[in-house]
Amino acid sequence: MNHPAVIVFLIQAAITVGVSVIGYVIFSPLHALSVMVGGSVAIIPQSLFGFWVFKQRGARNSRAIAKNLFVGEGLKLSMTAALFALVWLNSDLLETAAVLAGFVITVLVGQLSLPLILGGTRTH
């Protein structure tokens, strides 16, 4: 559970659920579902990326880590595009703005949480 990818996943999932609940209360169940779908489109590729990049650690593995960063980012972008295509091709009912809001908020949370998590692992 100490793995950075797991921590980022849990933070992103919690925020996505929270924003979805807000969408449910303020707008409708459809908005809540749309936020969850958008958040999932962000969470799934980000989790794959996190596990891919952090599967090796240590200074001796710096070349492998650098390679994993590039491969992981390519996988993340490809999977995100595929998931968005899947969502848009198979659902006429979702609220577009809510899907995009769920996606953007979840991505931002992931981007902001990782430096805090990694920064908290330093020893002084």
Secondary structure of 21-74 as H, E, C letters: HHHHHHCCHHHHHHHHHHHHHHHHHHHHHHHHHCCCCCHHHHHHHHHHHHHHHH
Using one digit for the tens of pLDDT, what is the confidence trace for 100-110? Answer: 999 999 999 98
Domain ranges of the chain: 4-119
* Residue carrying the six token digits 């209360």: 25
pTM for this prediction: 0.83
Average pLDDT over residues 49-66: 75
Which pLDDT score, from 0 to 100, does residue 59 have?
63
Short-list 80, 79, 82, 88, CA closest to 104: 80
Contact of 48 with 114, CB cutoff 8 Å = no
The secondary structure of residue 4, as a DSSP letter, is: H
Using one digit for the tens of pLDDT, what is the confidence trace for 24-43? Answer: 999 999 999 999 999 999 99
Which pLDDT score, from 0 to 100, does residue 101 have?
96
Contact of 16 with 46, CB cutoff 8 Å = no
Which pLDDT score, from 0 to 100, does residue 95 have?
94
Which pLDDT score, from 0 to 100, does residue 121 have?
53
Average pLDDT over residues 72-87: 94
Q: 45 CB contacts (<8 Å, ≥6 apart)?
A: 75, 76, 77, 79, 80, 83
